[in-house]
A and B are shown apart, each in its own frame.
Chain A
Amino acid sequence: MGKLEPVTILLVEDDRGDQKLIKRSLLEQKIANEVVMAESGEEALDYLSRNKAGDSDCPQPNLILLDLNMPGMGGKEFLRRIKADDDHDTIPVVILTTSDSEQDIIESYKLHAAGYIKKPVTLRGFKEVMQSLEEYWFAICKRT
């Protein structure tokens, strides 16, 4: 299904170690052809506004993986903004964070997150998570 089309994932994550781990799992398992990195909500919005302006180096992401706690604009504020943006509000945004506080979970879903994942602690755990993400979003779900 979706696997035949090129897949771009926007990863919004400030931790370098997690960036590497996630990017590696995504690329090794051939989930995404391109993983775009942003280290804060501002950087992610900047990428999306370049996409909106038609910059061919900035393809529209098929999925956004979003950390909550980042310096500058955090995940929740970014989520609020993208879901209010008529050009990008159909992109599924999945939270990937170290927090599993009940409040963060509820707030994220109320802001229309399309999933809330607590970061695994091992590479194996990360790969399982990425596998499940891929099967759900790219094998069984239709996207815009």
Chain B
Amino acid sequence: MDSRRIKILLVEDDISDQKLVKKSLAEGMMCNEIFTVESGEEALEYLSRSKEAIGENYRPHLILLDLNMPGMGGKEFLRRIKSDDELAAIPVVILTTSDSEQDITESYKLHAAGYIKKPVTPEDFRYVMRTLGKYWFITCKQT
């Protein structure tokens, strides 16, 4: 895995959270490319455009997904990804401010591969991103 370029797609509408996630990912792990989009529609558009542009290797290795966004929200995006045979194998991890029991249950039912409540401090953000990076890119095998 280390020799490969790790690509993450971040679906997040809040600009300061985008910055925090990118910074923590860059500091805490070996992610080479982070693409940011601001809604479910943009994420779907990004995926179909990069397929045209790059070909076979267009898929990100992991998707970090906010739930509450204007336009298509996280759950609808998750539903679509997981019912698309070409995209279904990409792990999608929810990263959100909500920790309502209902959001957690629904996300796992829609096949989220983890549900993380956004930490409050930058230190905790770094810990979360480091742990996430270690689990998905060192411990786990990817497609």
Chain A residues packing against B (C-beta within 8 Å): 83, 89-90, 92, 100, 102, 105-106, 109-110, 112, 114-118, 128-129, 132-133, 135-137, 139-144
Central interface residue in B90, B99, B131, by most chain A CB within 10 Å: B131
Contact status B131-A143, CB under 8 Å: no
**Nearest opposing residue in chain A for B124, CB measure:** A140
| Min CB–CB distance A45 → chain B (angstroms) | 19
> Inside 8 A of A115's CB, which chain B residues have their CB?
91, 113, 135-136, 139-140
Complex interface bits, B83-111 against A, C-beta within 8 A gives 1, otherwise 0: 00100111100000001010011001101
Contact of B109 with A90 in the complex, beta carbons under 8 Å: yes
| Complex Cα gap A32–B135 (Å) | 18
Closest to B105 in A: A144
Interface residues of B (CB under 8 A from A): 82, 85, 88-91, 99, 101, 104-105, 108-109, 111, 113-117, 127-128, 131-132, 134-136, 138-143
B89 to chain A, nearest CB (A): 4
A140 with B128, Cβ < 8 A, contacts A117-B139, A132-B138 known: yes
Q: Are A140 and B116 in contact (CB under 8 A)?
A: yes
Instruction: List A contacts of B138 (CB < 8 A).
Output: 132
Inter-subunit contact A143/B104 (CB<8 Å): yes
Q: Is the CB of A116 within 8 A of B140?
A: yes
Q: Report the minimal beta-carbon distance from B62 to chain A, rounded to whole angstroms.
A: 11
> Which residues of A sit under 8 angstroms from B128, Cβ to Cβ?
140
Whole-angstrom distance between the alpha carbons of A83 and B82 in the complex?
Answer: 13
Query: Complex Cα distance A116/B141, Å?
Result: 5
Complex Cα spacing A109 to B105, Å: 19
Given known A143-B104, A144-B108, contact A105–B141 (CB-CB < 8 A): yes
Q: A102-B143, A132-B131, A140-B131 are in contact. List 10 more A-B contacts (CB 8 A).
A: A89-B109, A106-B89, A106-B143, A110-B85, A116-B141, A117-B140, A135-B131, A136-B139, A140-B132, A144-B105
B88–A110 touching, CB < 8 Å: yes
Q: Would A136 and B101 count as touching, CB distance under 8 A?
A: no
Does the CB pair A142–B104 fall under 8 Å? yes
Q: Are A89 and B89 interface neighbours, CB within 8 A?
A: no
In the assembled complex, the CB of B50 is this many whole angstroms from the nearest CB of chain A, namely 19
Task: Give the distance in Å from the alpha carbon of A140 to the alpha carbon of B46 in the complex.
Answer: 28
B59 to chain A, nearest CB (A): 11
